[in-house]
Amino acid sequence: MKTLTATLIAATIATTTLATPILTTPAAAGGSVAVSFVPQDHDQAQALRAGLQIFSIVKGTKAGGHIGQNGFGNIAGIGQNGAGNLGIVHQDGNNHNGSIQQNGNNNAHGLFQFGDGTNGHVTQNGNGQTGATFQFGWR
């Protein structure tokens, strides 16, 4: 229940404060849809970062990264080179593959995968970047 609440908080903050999402069209006989939020200004970046930090606090993250998996056959990883980074990979369902690579300082990104069989990989190079990706998959 905590995961659902925290995800909804992050999604609500992202959808109410950020610019137009990037949408991936689904395949006809199964596939996935992804919505990525990339802030367009400082206020949007702060709002999204706050949502990710709330999620991180609810999940009890002690360091700059959190991986949460509920299901089978999931693969996740976070790599960080720098200081003050926050990476979240959350997978609910089966057969997800997701990673976040952060190179630089004070970057934040949340990758949230639901359903079945999504594949998402995020790389942030530089300083102060913020984003969130929500993927939903089916077979």
Per-residue pLDDT of the chain (139 residues; tens, 9 = 90+): 556 555 555 555 554 444 445 555 555 567 899 999 999 999 999 999 999 999 999 999 888 999 999 999 999 999 999 999 999 999 999 999 999 999 999 999 999 999 999 999 999 999 999 999 999 999 8
Q: What is the count of structural domains for the chain? A: 1
DSSP 98: E
* Tokens coding 33: 């849809």
* Tokens coding 56: 């991180």
Cβ contacts of 59-67, under 8 Å, gap ≥ 24: 59/2, 59/3, 59/6, 59/88, 61/88, 65/100, 66/90
**Residue 53's pLDDT is what?**
95
For residue 73, the enclosing domain spans: 2-25+34-138
How far is C-alpha 82 from the geometric centre of its chain's CA atoms?
19
